Structure 1
Amino acid sequence: MPWMLSCTPFIIVSYFFLWYLPPFTAGRVVWYLAFYCLFQALTTFFLVPYCALTMFLSTDEKDRDSATAYRITVEVLGTLIGAALQGQIVASAHASDHCSQNSTVSFLNSSNLQQNSSSFLSLAHGRNVYMIAAGVIGGIYLVSTVILFLGVKEKDDPYALSSDKTVPFFKGLRLTMKYGPYMKFTASFLLISTAVQLEQGNFVLFCTHTAGLRSHFQNLVMTILVSAVLSMPFWQWFLQRFGKKEAACGICWMIPFVIMLVTIPNLIVAYTVAFVSGLSIAASLLLPWAMLPDVVDHFRLQNPHLTGHETIFYSSYVFFTKMSAGIGLGISASSLEFVGYESGTCRQSDSVVAMLKVFVGGVPAGLIFLGLFILIFYPINKRSQKETKLALEMLRQSHPSTENLNENEENTSV
């Protein structure tokens, strides 16, 4: 917890300078690249312990799933609020709605960079509103971290036995990389996450240059976010009622609708696709974080005298999610450049239009189906979860835990 609090000021500063216009022009690329890398690194430092806290809130699976659902819901809601606030604040800096106006907003990434080539009312006014927007978002980040620090009490591992030894990082990493359920889980959601990243990253360009919906893309993005927020309670109920592997089928709901948008690009279809995509994206965000604690418990049962491996699982998965985002961005950028994409032009070539259709429809569909196929071989289900929980409870009853040992020592000293 102190580590997250100490990271927060540096995250805010790095985010602020992402939107700052330096007085020099020669080294601006290096400036923004450095602060973007710094921001991504710091958010990773924050995200790993923040996500791993779920394991220490409760030993009950339903409680952890509920906490995960609340966390993901509030994250998406925060993205919606942040996008709305920043969009409204910087709106006055743009005077025209020329067709060259571009925005490659990655709307599920808190570190998104808005690129607009519309004319500014004035350079000074543009600088001011972007600084104000960055300050508001940074203030929200600070308030949220303070609430987390004051509202959540860090506890000892409730499953740790008195004879447990903390596993060294590299040894734990080797163990996790050899652990079959974790590798199947990671491979599946790496493909699914890459598919979602590709669909997100190219959706605005598709609406602008292929579907002719340039003036509606902001409303479409908001529709996706609102749909994702509202569908979280449904997915939480579904995975508890039918199982987590079964809930993964919801990720593929958007595929037929996205293909419909590619073939029939009109306004009604676009809003339908946005709504259904929000449902699928909500499932793709919730399920991996709900399934990861089950993998950790299953590993603990196989290695009962190792502790400290939770952060290794979470840090490895965060790395893979970051890698999927990089893969999606790299594939999109290189492919569009190869077919002749020109930023700022009103009309793109037919090859660019075809490539956007592939990135929005074909490639995500293939990656999602492949990811779900791998998930079929994921061995943890509702029955095995109950067996694991029972075995861990019996292990705690037959061996004194570190938490109980500390409580007994405190009572003895009193």
Structure 2
Amino acid sequence: MTISKRERTANSESDWNSPKLVYAISKLSVDMESRYKDTTPDNTESQPKEIDDNKERYPSPCDTIEKIKKGEVDNPSTSSQTSISTPAKKRKIKDSDKIPLQKKLALAIGAAPLALPLVTATVFITLFLLDVVLLEPKYSSLVLLLGRSFDAVSDPLVGFLVNKTQRKGNTLKYWMGFAIPFLLLAYFMLWVVPMKNGENQIGILCYYLSIYILLQIAFTIYGVPYAALIMFQTNDQRERDIATAFRMTAEIVFAILGIGVVGGIVSDTLDSDSVCDDSGDVNDDWLKKAERKYMIAGGAICALVLFSGLVTFLGTNERSDITIPSSKISTAKATKRVLKHTPYIYLMASYFCMYLSVTITQGNLQLYFKYHLDKVDHFTYAMVVLLVCIGVGIPVWQAVMLKLGKKSTAYIGVLILIPCYAVLGAVPSDTSVVIVYATCAVAGFAIGSAYLIPWSMLPDVIDNYTVENSERNESIFFGFFVFFNKFAAGAGLGVSLAVLEIAGYDNEACEQPDAVQNALRLLCSPGPAALVLLYAFFVFMYPITDKKCKENKEVLKQRILRERYGADFHRYVNRSFEFDNEAIETF
């Protein structure tokens, strides 16, 4: 079938003379002829079935015209009069851009090697170092601060390496698989006491600092490619947001699982009456029992991490047809350009403040329950309530975000979270357990927005950067984002231990002075509340609105069309012919 024959068919009626339709048909004709040439056998008479299959797979443009006339396909010349920059009606996502449910689940399960060790270490490491290892608060703070500070080198470095080794295929997945053995080794050794409790403080400091640095490196090698993996699953932003919500929900589920597993195993070591002997000193039998329990808990978490890592490694693949333009400049210049991108600066600042607030609260909540509320036996249940409400809140916040926008959703979360911090600072030591659980439930629901919003904003920042610089550098963006995530956790715990050291915390005593209780109230109420207000300020300064996000999507869509149609695209756009998005996708 020749071009002229298609043009005669298209011109048979006056409303089929649209230059836009003629252009689309001519382009489609060239594509179809090349495909027929490549796929049709030499002996067409002997293999009619294959020819019919090819025609069914690559329909004739004239057949498409007939479908348009019958109403089966919209007429691009009459179905829409909006320009390419005008938001189109809600469209159906192409099958190639849909992420299958099983792959979404495999991606979500991949959050376990990060969530399980990170959350359990954040929640239990403070009490473990102070009351089981008997490491002084100043040395414990050095372990956490220096270990996290090492990420200032490891996170960007891993981001650079991932960016440089990025190829079509499963590069990111292989990075993740490489990290799993080191992650398992470092996490298990974190709960091993290398020498007699409380003796040789410098030796214990060196041991835990080395293990902690190895753990952070393993987190980085796994976390940076995992965070970028969603970008290589689909080109559709809505599908990416849904996959991100799956991932955030999975993180909360695994956090709950981790707290439940570790808390359930070590729960009988949290009884204050069994810690001290008759002389008021720490009981040696209790210390040995606590060491054994924490090692068992560490082994259980390692088993879960290994299983989930295998599921993600075997159940995910990177789409080779998603091309991410690589940087044409050096890594140093690309990093400098990324760190100067204004939306990224405000996003990182907001995320750092919120995550620091949550980490400070989580890291000191166990001590708060033990020494201020005298309800340490309720701590595990309170944490489960908190995390369950975070998990329940994420789908709700996802729906609110799609309805009201990301910035408005962040403000609503702040308005709910601030009163919860006020309650933690105001309640007396003999307060009712019901009030404590209710506060944890409401706070968890509000924190769900803080987990979801920054990670949903990050792809928008990358798209904005791509529009301005014609390059993406995903690994650099995610590398620094993961760095600020982990640095906030380490900084929060390190600062908390430094405050406890100043307040006079004695890890070999069974009772703590009033100054320590006041310090714990400070660390669980006004300090985190101030950081939440800073988070709201940086979200307010964040310049990418929902309207700007849509405009960036349209610009990137035009670039895709330009790459597909080359000079023909420029010629027709310069003539001001309007392209209908749905018609272009149909053809």
> Kindly tell me: are residues 216 and 86 of structure 1, through their superposed partners in 2, closer, same or farther at Cα, counting changes over 3 Å?
closer
Q: C-alpha displacement at 1:343, in angstroms? A: 2.4
1:58 paired to 2:234: yes
Alignment of 1:192-207 (within 5 A): 192-207=354-369
Distance 2:475 2:332 in 1: 12
* Residue 498 (structure 2) aligns with: 334
- Alignment check: 8 A CA contact 2:267 2:377 kept: no
Distance 1:224 1:366 in 2: 20
Q: C-alpha displacement at 1:129, in angstroms? A: 4.7
- Alignment check: 8 A CA contact 1:340 1:352 kept: yes
Structure-1-length-normalised TM-score: 0.85
1:20 paired to 2:192: yes
Q: Which amino acid aligns with 1:172?
A: A
* Residue 71 (structure 1) aligns with: 247
Q: C-alpha displacement at 1:259, in angstroms? A: 0.9
Alignment of 1:374-393 (within 5 A): 374-393=538-557
Q: Which amino acid aligns with 1:50?
A: Y
- Alignment check: 8 A CA contact 1:96 1:119 kept: no
- Alignment check: 8 A CA contact 1:169 1:312 kept: no
> Kindly tell me: are residues 393 and 127 of structure 1, through their superposed partners in 2, closer, same or farther at Cα, counting changes over 3 Å?
same
- Alignment check: 8 A CA contact 1:220 1:274 kept: yes
1:281 paired to 2:447: yes
Q: Which amino acid aligns with 2:389?
A: S
Q: Which amino acid aligns with 2:449?
A: A
Q: 349, 365, 370: which one pairs with 1:208?
A: 370
Structure-2-length-normalised TM-score: 0.61
Q: C-alpha displacement at 1:20, in angstroms? A: 2.7
> Kindly tell me: are residues 130 and 340 of structure 1, through their superposed partners in 2, closer, same or farther at Cα, counting changes over 3 Å?
closer
Q: C-alpha displacement at 1:272, in angstroms? A: 1.4
Instruction: Number of aligned residue pairs: give it.
Output: 380
CA deviations on 1:147-201 (whole Å, 9 max, x unpaired) are: 111111112473536xx54553211110011111111111122112211111212
* Residue 7 (structure 1) aligns with: 179
Alignment of 1:20-59 (within 5 A): 20-22=192-194, 26=200, 27-59=203-235
CA deviations on 1:209-239 (whole Å, 9 max, x unpaired) are: 2233323222111111111111111111111
Distance 1:348 1:21 in 2: 24
Q: C-alpha displacement at 1:19, in angstroms? A: 2.1
Q: C-alpha displacement at 1:330, in angstroms? A: 2.2
SS at match of 1:376: helix
* Residue 302 (structure 2) aligns with: 138
Distance 1:122 1:333 in 2: 21
The range that moved more, 66-75 or 243-252, is: 243-252
Q: 233, 238, 241: which one pairs with 2:395?
A: 233
> Kindly tell me: are residues 264 and 135 of structure 1, through their superposed partners in 2, closer, same or farther at Cα, counting changes over 3 Å?
closer
Distance 2:290 2:260 in 1: 18
CA deviations on 1:135-156 (whole Å, 9 max, x unpaired) are: 3221211111111111111124
> Kindly tell me: are residues 244 and 95 of structure 1, through their superposed partners in 2, closer, same or farther at Cα, counting changes over 3 Å?
closer
Distance 1:284 1:118 in 2: 41
* Residue 465 (structure 2) aligns with: 299
1:259 paired to 2:422: yes
The range that moved more, 325-334 or 360-369, is: 325-334
Distance 1:185 1:96 in 2: 42
- Alignment check: 8 A CA contact 2:382 2:440 kept: yes
Q: C-alpha displacement at 1:277, in angstroms? A: 1.5
Q: C-alpha displacement at 1:326, in angstroms? A: 2.3
- Alignment check: 8 A CA contact 1:100 1:344 kept: no
Q: C-alpha displacement at 1:66, in angstroms? A: 0.8
CA deviations on 1:7-28 (whole Å, 9 max, x unpaired) are: 1011111112122343677533
Q: C-alpha displacement at 1:100, in angstroms? A: 5.1
* Residue 114 (structure 1) aligns with: none
SS at match of 1:98: helix
Distance 2:255 2:443 in 1: 16
Distance 2:331 2:418 in 1: 39
> Kindly tell me: are residues 28 and 341 of structure 1, through their superposed partners in 2, closer, same or farther at Cα, counting changes over 3 Å?
closer
1:170 paired to 2:332: yes
* Structure 2 unmatched runs, 5+: 1-172, 277-281, 566-587
* Residue 98 (structure 1) aligns with: 273
Q: Which amino acid aligns with 2:185?
A: V
> Kindly tell me: are residues 90 and 212 of structure 1, through their superposed partners in 2, closer, same or farther at Cα, counting changes over 3 Å?
closer
Q: Which amino acid aligns with 2:443?
A: S
Q: Which amino acid aligns with 2:227?
A: C
- Alignment check: 8 A CA contact 2:271 2:376 kept: no
* Structure 1 unmatched runs, 5+: 102-116, 402-414
Identical columns (%): 33
* Residue 476 (structure 2) aligns with: 312
Q: 335, 349, 353: which one pairs with 2:517?
A: 353
- Alignment check: 8 A CA contact 1:185 1:378 kept: yes
- Please tell me whether Structure 1 or Structure 2 has the larger radius of gyration of its CA atoms: 2
Q: C-alpha displacement at 1:301, in angstroms? A: 0.8
Distance 1:295 1:339 in 2: 42
> Kindly tell me: are residues 224 and 157 of structure 1, through their superposed partners in 2, closer, same or farther at Cα, counting changes over 3 Å?
farther
Q: Which amino acid aligns with 2:446?
A: S
Q: Which amino acid aligns with 2:208?
A: Y
Alignment of 1:182-201 (within 5 A): 182-201=344-363
Distance 2:474 2:309 in 1: 22
Distance 2:283 2:545 in 1: 52
Q: Which amino acid aligns with 1:285?
A: Y
Q: 403, 413, 438: which one pairs with 1:272?
A: 438
* Residue 411 (structure 1) aligns with: none
